[in-house]
Amino acid sequence: MAYKPNYATGDLVTTAIWQELVNRAIYIFADASARDNASTGITSPTEGQFCYLLDTGSGSGGLQYYNGSAWTNTSLTADITGVTAGNGLSGGGTSGDVTLALDANELSSVTAVSTDFVVIEDVTDNTTKKALISDIVSQGDITEVNTSSTSGLAGGATSGAVNLSIDPSQLSSGSGITVDSANDLMILEDATDGTVYKVTPSQFASSETDIGLILALG
């Protein structure tokens, strides 16, 4: 039935119209048992129909609506009076829609060990879970870092933090080679900004004042 804002004397009120008006009324009952009474209660509720229960002491009172399969309390009957953000959270409130957000600055610092847990989101099923630090570290693709005897590098390891350093002594001496001053490359560290560059021998010969440390000759 379409909503009719005003009725006038003489308007015909059919059974269907009357039933719609009944369904839209908010009936007051003492409790859920009275609401469901076979003689005086709502025996065939319609989806969207409202009622009000006076029995608030048992937690089942207040304004309710029928959702199509069961009577459900509305938000007007909620007993939460405030949401306070605890450690690691920000937000909260005492009315309206309340939002909480993760705030890592609220947390205290800790020296992590392999048996500690961290929070991760599983991209497979979009759920938040906990994982051991040791499990996360063990998932890395790199299992070992090695340096060959002619690589010009020293260091490497199979676990933990791996350090590598340049070791020119491992490189061939270069005796007997023909130096192409325009195209061969040298590695050097600029003492001005500490940056490592590549230069040709011709650049080295013409601008020695920029060189801090010669690392290798190509």
**Token pair 């009076």: residue:** 81
The answer on 44 and 24 residing in a single domain is: yes
What are the DSSP E strand ranges found in 39-93? Answer: 50-53, 62-66, 71-73, 83-84, 89-93
**pLDDT > 70 in the chain, percent:** 79
* 70 shares its domain with 51: yes
Position 41 pLDDT exceeds 80: yes
Residues 22, 63, single domain; the answer is yes
The pLDDT value given to residue 205: 60
Contact 87/106 with Cβ under 8 angstroms? yes
Do 69 and 20 share a structural domain? Answer: yes
- 210 plus 159 within the same structural domain: no
pLDDT in tens, 99-146: 888 888 888 888 888 888 888 888 889 888 888 887 776 555 666 777
**pLDDT of res. 218:** 41
Do both 33 and 71 map to the same domain? yes
Residue 1 lies in a domain: no
Residue 97 lies in a domain: yes
Whether residues 71 and 27 fall in one domain = yes
| Pairwise CA distance, residues 169 & 109, whole Å | 44
Instruction: Note down the domain range covering 133.
Output: 112-140
Q: How many domains are contained in the chain? A: 5
What is this structure's pTM? 0.32
